[in-house]
């Protein structure tokens, strides 16, 4: 059976980020599920705030091109997304915005988002576990970028207390949900290998 390549990233670069913990846990689980996993931190791909004048004068930054190539090199992408004021983080939105501006000659628009599967997850201390950031992220990816975003998703509430000392999810309910989301992603990503 073909081995899908899965990219994992968190929409937070905060030290101790719950979403980065969730991303790291997902990366571990995906590796166990025989996927070829790349876990990246957006801290390693700093980007200026999108500005049309900057794009006109200098084009998209090299880090946007690198991330776009990374997206293109994977069959599945797993994104964990913190909730800021009922939406996604400016970091994640700015990163996606820049990636959408990178286009190779003769390439169709938004190529990095097409022909691959996305799965999304959130972690928050709030009751809804960042569910509203998932709604916003789904809109950006599906409507804005034409991406296939799987219906399976996970929103982890009470995020400060749900991880044990091994960085696993304590509650079976959360662990089962994450397993289901990742299994769906591996299966969908395999279709694009």
Ligand X SMILES: Cc1cc2nc3c(=O)[nH]c(=O)nc-3n(C[C@H](O)[C@H](O)[C@H](O)COP(=O)(O)O)c2cc1C
- Name the residue nearer to ligand X (CB basis): 75 or 83: 83
Assess contact for 23 and 182: CB atoms under 8 A: no
- Name the residue nearer to ligand X (CB basis): 77 or 186: 77
CB of residue 161 to ligand X, shortest distance in Å: 12
Cα–Cα distances in angstroms (integers) from residue 8 to residues 36, 78, 108, in the given order:
11, 5, 24
Q: Rule CB under 6 A: say whether 153 interacts with ligand X.
A: no
CB of residue 16 to ligand X, shortest distance in Å: 7
CB of residue 163 to ligand X, shortest distance in Å: 11
- Tell me the backbone φ, ψ of residue 89, rounded to 5 degrees: -70, 150
Q: Rule CB under 6 A: say whether 19 interacts with ligand X.
A: yes
CB of residue 144 to ligand X, shortest distance in Å: 20
Assess contact for 23 and 92: CB atoms under 8 A: no
Q: Rule CB under 6 A: say whether 14 interacts with ligand X.
A: yes
Restricting to residues 75-104, name those near ligand X by CB under 6 A: 82-86
Give the torsion sign (CA, 37, 42, 46, 50). positive
What count of Cα atoms within 13 Å lies in the side-chain half-sphere of residue 62? 1
State the residues that interact with ligand X by CB under 6 A: 12, 14, 17-20, 82-86, 124, 126, 130
């Amino acid at each position: 059976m073909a081995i899908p390549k899965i990219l994992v990233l968190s929409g937070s670069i905060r030290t101790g980020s719950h979403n980065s913990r969730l991303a790291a846990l997902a990366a571990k689980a995906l590796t166990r599920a025989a996927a070829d996993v790349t876990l990246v931190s957006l801290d390693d791909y700093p980007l200026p705030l999108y500005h049309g004048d900057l794009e006109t004068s200098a084009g998209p930054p090299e880090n946007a091109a690198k991330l776009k190539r990374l997206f293109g090199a994977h069959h599945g992408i797993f994104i964990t997304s913190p909730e800021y004021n009922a939406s996604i983080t400016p970091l994640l939105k700015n990163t996606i915005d820049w990636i959408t501006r990178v286009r190779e000659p003769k390439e169709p628009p938004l190529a990095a988002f097409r022909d691959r599967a996305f799965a999304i997850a959130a972690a928050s201390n709030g009751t809804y576990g960042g569910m509203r950031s998932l709604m916003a992220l789904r809109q950006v990816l599906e409507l804005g970028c034409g991406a296939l975003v799987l219906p399976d998703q996970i929103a982890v509430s009470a995020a400060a207390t749900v991880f044990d000392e091994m960085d696993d999810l304590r509650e079976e309910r959360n662990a089962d949900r994450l397993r289901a989301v990742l299994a769906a992603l591996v299966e969908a990503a395999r279709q694009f290998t």
